[in-house]
Chains A and B, each alone.
Chain A
Amino acid sequence: MKSSKAKPKKKQPAKAKSEVTIKIDGKEIKAKEGQNLVQVARENDIFIPSLCYYEHIDPPLGTCRVCMCEVNGKPAPACMQKVKDNMEVRVNTPEMEDTRKAIVEMMFAEGNHFCPACEKSGNCDLQHMGYEMGVSISRFPHLFKDRLIDFQPKRMIIEHNRCVKCHRCVEEVRTKDGKRVFSLCNRGNETVVGIDYEQEAKLTREEALAAMKLCPTGAILVRGQSMARPFGDRPFDKKSVQKEEAAKKSVVESTVKEATGKKVIATISLAGCFGCHMSMLDIDLGLIDLLEVVEFNKSPINDIKKFTRQCDIGLIEGGCCNSENVETLREFRKKCDILVAVGECSIWGGLPAMRNMIPLEECLEEAYLNSITTVPGEHIVPYHEDLPKILDKVYACNEIVKIDYFIPGCPPSPEHIWKAVKNLLWGEHYSILYSEFKYD
């Protein structure tokens, strides 16, 4: 699929490139002068995050900026650096780690990523970067920009909600006669990657599949093609590029402290699917141990409908999609000393927020009036004073009340939830392994 008129590589002068020594995070490394820094790091088992970088594109695209490192004391994108003698690179400084993480978070805030519903999940570079950097929530507000899913191409489907504008497809996907199939269109916050239907139709199925693979996200899909590998076997399922062994050593074994009196927990599912609650129950027998140190107040677990006392901690699943959710959430804020948002839906809206890009009126009409099973004239959009009122969009819990902690995941693993709760209630130390931090 490469440019068909692949020009002969520029002839390098016969003299071999000289060997140079550089330092990455204090470690001395030998490399060939002029080699790409990201590449050199990879070859030496040092992980520099990257998304748009693609070995044979030269000059590198330099669009995503998730590879920011300190090069000779100054922040710079690593993929744009050719190694020179005595180059000093710092990858893992707190500042650079935070900058890279922020940029990945920006991509999540800017696009509309619903991983549980995504074909690329587990094979997705962006998702992978999120995990590697420990992105739990995006510090940025989700922008919920309405974007298209383009079903018009012959072989492909372009999911604009997921594109991070990395430019890979623009540079690399060409027809046999060298014409571009993709181009960025518009500019500023309206920038999208456009596809040429005429040229796309000329691609072979293999070329289309190669484009799907090239895309670091789930933005380019090929019709009828699903991911062949089952869950657990996908490229980014279990293996972290970071050294897990080291992490394991630092795990402190759980020791429930002698509790002084039982702590009181309340839980609720707002606009969620009860998946997070199912996950809470998934500690199986652990639940019995847990009940020795805590008691549940208002919660679907015991079906107590009304608060009977002030609680130590409240666990919220789901965001707010109607007025009743808002009232319940506000009540929780009053009745719980610590409020924790559990799961993606309560953190930023999650799957229910897929409707945030569409006006409410359109949503309701589609659901109640225009669906195939409705009879024209016989159906109405439900409205009654006893019914909760639907909000204009799905709100994250922290847009309505102050949330003290967030436990990410869809759903978060049971261990994660209870480790976090025990930490909050008794200050117990805990760490979470990469494999426990994978949710799909």
Chain B
Amino acid sequence: MEAETLSKQRAHPELLNCLWEYQNQHGYIRDEDIEQCSRRFGVSRIELEGVISFYHFFHRRPTGQFTIYLNNSIVSEFKGFQRVREAFERETGSRFGEIDPSGVFSLFETSCIGLSDHEPAALINFHPFTNLNTLKVRQIIASLKQGVPVEELCDEVEDNIRYIPPGKRAVFFREYFPGNAITKLAGMNPEEVIEEINRSKLSGRGGAFFPTGLKWGLCRQQTARPKYIVCNADEGEPGTFKDRVLMNSMPGLALEGMAIAGYAVGASEGVFYLRAEYRWMKDKLEKEIQRLYRMGLLGKNAAGIEGFDFDIRLQLGAGSYVVGEETAMLNSMEGKRGEARVKQYYPIERGFLGKPTVVNNVETLCAAARIIELGADHFLSTGTAASPGTKLISVSGDCHLPGVYEIEYGMKVEELLKLCQADEPYYIQVSGPSGECISMADKERAISKDDLSCGGALMVFSKQRNILQILLNFANFFKEESCGICTPCRAGNFILQRKLEKVKLGLAQNSDFEDIRQWGRIMQTASRCGLGKTASNTLIKALDTFPEFFEVQSGNGLTRKFDLTKATEEYEKFKS
């Protein structure tokens, strides 16, 4: 299938899977594979190189029998990342970013893998290993060397569901009976489904809070066919793992949500885009899809509704944060670099393959399924009037009970901090690096759409933590994960990261902090997509929220601390 889509580049929806096959088969993508692919898809080699080099789980150089991806997110950093990293190097005899001489182990760092409640964590051949420490690393590597299969060694990932609203008020974390939601469709026409979602005031849970009913309604009005439903399971925002828990504990719910969305907008195909970091859940999800087919809930005349055909397939990502942005995801699904598209059309107008497409987050689709199952009234009876419903929050960092909290909208920050038993909370990151940071002065604020909006992550850091280390970790993250297509984000994140390095060296002056604000604002106004628009938010907010911290950091004004000895160190090598 080849389709002419928005850009003049042709779409190749099978390309990503094809590259995965080569990657899995040989541990990397060889020149001859590229040659083959280039003939199969009729594209030049450089176009393939462009796609391959965009995703960090694709390699162009051989990797070992075991690839180890160690998470370098900030929570991991604070929980012993450095020691674990050294342990991996010591035990494997290999170095990060290189292949070891025996070709057995390859070590890589990677951005958040959605296991912030189990840090430090790593993926070995995409199987999860959690709560790592030096001893555990030694045992794992020793066992691997002895030939114990990875599948047997890896950890069972605990869901850590820590809290649900009292009474029978829970929306998500209540018993799940496959089919209970979809079968409700039989008694409703598509307009009624959309009306029910509208009435519930459900808004998107992927971060942008766009009203879900409105999105579906607008897509329903589109005349182009076919239409697509995409479930965004790319959960890449560091510190967020609520979607992981939903998929792991009730894999069918989001699938039902997709079918419901399909019924509402008139789509016949659904794509479940799963981030590669969650490959360990792929079998489970595929089995669940098969089960729904067997139950007659998917496929032709799905859920027994005459004329409603709905298929779901799973698409595996390949390692990129920005692909979570919906238009970047569509590009990725079309076998292209995961660059955000220009905002000429909304996905509901021209999305996947240029056709109307609804992209929804996992949690959104689960909520929609529950609303149809339980009725909008149940949803409306929780939370607050302006912000009804419950919200899943992934809590991690310096607290005794990291995990997922299903809170009712309106809960105060303080209460959540108490529930998770936070240790002297001082710096709190809401909605991940692209969100904002707050201090305890905000403890009275309510988590809701109209007060403190939260995409789904709360990272708690105690007074002992170095704020600069947090900010630098975020800056490195954005520098790496920017798709690179627009100037303010590609260059801006790089420049801000350098600036923070300067602050770290103690060389910053007050004017440097003013620069950060102004430059950050330019990135906010001029970037193409949400990544660049939000990347400087936390940094700017931190300057306002923790002024006392930055006063200590700033130098004394006029004198530059230029270190002549250091600058001539390299030359001294020539002294004979």
Contacts and interface: CB of A to CB of B under 8 A. Distances in A.
> Do A and B bind?
yes
Interface of A: 3, 7, 59-66, 68, 75, 77, 80, 98-99, 102-103, 106-107, 109-110, 139-141, 143, 164-165, 167, 171, 175, 179-191, 194-196, 198-199, 323, 326, 359-361, 364, 380-383, 389-393, 395, 398-402
B498 A141 contact: yes
Nearest to A397: B560
A399 B528 contact: no
Interface in B470-484: 479-484
A186 B53 contact: yes
B494 A183 contact: no
Contacts of A360: 570-571
Interface string B322-355: 1000000000000001010011100000000000
A77 B486 CA distance: 11
A23 to B, nearest CB: 21
A64 B481 CA distance: 18
B146 interface: no
5 contacts: A141-B499, A179-B44, A189-B494, A383-B576, A389-B571
B495 A141 contact: yes
A187 B482 CA distance: 7
Given A65-B527, A165-B490, 12 more contacts: A140-B491, A141-B498, A180-B43, A184-B50, A188-B490, A195-B46, A323-B564, A361-B573, A391-B567, A391-B568, A395-B567, A399-B562
Interface in B552-576: 558-560, 562, 564, 566-576
A196 B45 contact: yes
B562 A326 contact: yes
A165 B486 CA distance: 8
B344 A183 contact: no
Contacts of A195: 46
Interface of B: 4, 6-9, 42-47, 49-50, 53-54, 320, 322, 337, 339, 342-344, 479-488, 490-495, 498-499, 515, 519, 522, 525-528, 558-560, 562, 564, 566-576
Contact of A187 (B54, B522, B570): B54
A385 to B, nearest CB: 9
Nearest to B524: A75
A56 to B, nearest CB: 11
Contacts of A181: 44, 46
Contact of B6 (A59, A107, A143): A59
A182 B50 CA distance: 9
A190 B54 CA distance: 10
Given A188-B484, A361-B573, A180 B490 contact: no
A194 B49 contact: yes
B484 A184 contact: yes
Nearest to A96: B525
Contacts of A398: 560
B490 A402 contact: no
Contacts of A359: 570
Given A180-B43, A182-B46, A198-B45, A62 B342 contact: yes
Contacts of A80: 342-344
Contacts of A143: 491, 494-495, 498
Across the A-B interface, give the 4 residue pairs with the lowest CB-CB distance, nearest first: A191-B484, A183-B50, A196-B46, A62-B342
Contact of B485 (A106, A184, A391): A184
A3 B576 contact: no
Q: Which of the listed residues B43, B527, B562, B566 has the most CB atoms from chain A within 10 Å of its own CB?
A: B562
A64 B489 CA distance: 10
Given A179-B43, A360-B570, A361-B573, A187 B495 contact: no
A180 B44 contact: yes
A65 B526 contact: yes
B576 A380 contact: yes
Contacts of A103: 487-488, 522, 526
B568 A323 contact: yes
Nearest to A380: B576
B562 A400 contact: yes
A109 B487 CA distance: 11
Given A80-B344, A167-B485, A400-B562, A75 B525 contact: yes
A364 B488 contact: no
B568 A194 contact: no
A366 to B, nearest CB: 14
Report which residue of A68, A139, A167, A187 has the largest number of chain B beta carbons within 10 angstroms of its beta carbon: A187
Contact of A383 (B322, B339, B567, B574): B574
A191 B567 CA distance: 29
A106 B523 CA distance: 11
Q: Which of A110, A185, A360, A364 has the most CB of B within 10 A?
A: A185
Nearest to B568: A389
Q: Which of B494, B515, B566, B572 has the most CB of A within 10 A?
A: B494
A432 B482 CA distance: 39
B510 to A, nearest CB: 13
A99 B525 CA distance: 8
Given A109-B495, A326-B564, A59 B344 contact: yes
B40 to A, nearest CB: 14
A126 to B, nearest CB: 11
B332 to A, nearest CB: 12
Contacts of A402: 558-560
Contacts of B566: 392
A62 B528 CA distance: 8
Nearest to B575: A383
A60 B45 CA distance: 25
Contact of A185 (B49, B339, B487, B499): B49
A199 B493 contact: no
Given A62-B528, A65-B486, A191-B484, A399 B568 contact: no
Contact of A65 (B6, B488, B498, B519): B488
Contacts of B484: 165, 184, 186-191
Nearest to B344: A59
Contact of B491 (A3, A109, A364): A109
A184 B8 contact: no
Contacts of A185: 46, 49-50, 53-54
Nearest to B502: A141
Contacts of A167: 485
Contact of B488 (A98, A106, A191): A106
A113 to B, nearest CB: 13
A80 B498 CA distance: 31
Given A99-B526, A103-B522, A194 B490 contact: no
A102 B570 contact: no
Contacts of A383: 571, 574-576
Given A80-B342, A186-B53, A140 B495 contact: yes
B479 A199 contact: no
Contacts of B493: 188-189
Most chain B Cβ neighbours within 10 Å, of A167, A188, A191, A323: A188
A216 to B, nearest CB: 12
Contact of B528 (A65, A199, A380): A65
A142 B340 CA distance: 27
A139 B567 contact: no
Given A107-B487, A180-B46, A196-B46, A187 B320 contact: yes
A188 B479 contact: yes
B491 A107 contact: yes
A182 B47 CA distance: 7
Interface-centre pick from B487, B527, B568 (highest chain A CB count, 10 A): B487
Nearest to B484: A191
Contacts of A380: 574, 576
B483 to A, nearest CB: 6
A106 B495 contact: yes
A167 B493 CA distance: 20
Contacts of A180: 9, 43-44, 46-47
